[in-house]
Amino acid sequence: MIYEFDPKKERFAVEIGVPDKLERLDKIPRPRADETVGMCINWNVFDWVKSFDGYGEIEQDGKQYKPLIDAFPSMSFKDGKLVYGDLPAAQVGVGIAITLILDGKIDIRNKAKMATGKNTRTACGQKANGNIIFVTVWHRSLNGLIYNQ
């Protein structure tokens, strides 16, 4: 699945569920009164075996809910730009497992973290026109996401 949107027209947000409660993803989007949810993805790295907790930063509208950790660098969105790394007071900041493309060039980081297991994978990027693009594939390894294997 590919989803593209203009962040000048649509809100790019992290929706945080109820702490310490395992919730269905379709129940977490909490749109404002004047909006409709266009897409909701599970965009963080989770421990599905022990704690069911997410790894890495979670930031929304300048409030940091979870701190940065070295193993899972942040992807941040602020002032219309999606960047690799932490931006103080970002509109959105989340921990990521890997990168595929940075500054328009293939730049794969943290490949060993999740290269072999087949799971649902999501990649995010920003086009030259400023639109944000998400690509989600089902039951793929990292190589499957990159090379559609």
Q: Which of 18-22, 52-56, 68-72, 95-99 has the highest mean pLDDT?
A: 68-72
pLDDT attached to residue 69? 81
* Extents of the domains making up the chain: 2-12+42-147
Whether pLDDT at 6 is above 70? yes
Average pLDDT over residues 46-58: 70
Tokens representing residue 102 in the block: 């940075």
Predicted local confidence at residue 145, as pLDDT: 67
DSSP of the chain, one letter per residue?
-EEEE-TTTS--------TT----GGG-----TT---------SEE-TTTT--EES-EEETTEEEE--BTTB-EEEEETTEEEES--TT-SEEEE-S-EEEETTEEEEESGGGSSS--EEEEEEEE-TTS-EEEEEEEEE-HHHHHH--
Average pLDDT over residues 9-23: 77
Distance CA 31, CA 68 (A): 26
Sign of CA dihedral 87, 93, 99, 103: negative
Give ∠ CA 59-65-68 in degrees, rounded to 5: 70
Is the distance from CB of 132 to CB of 4 less than 8 angstroms?
yes
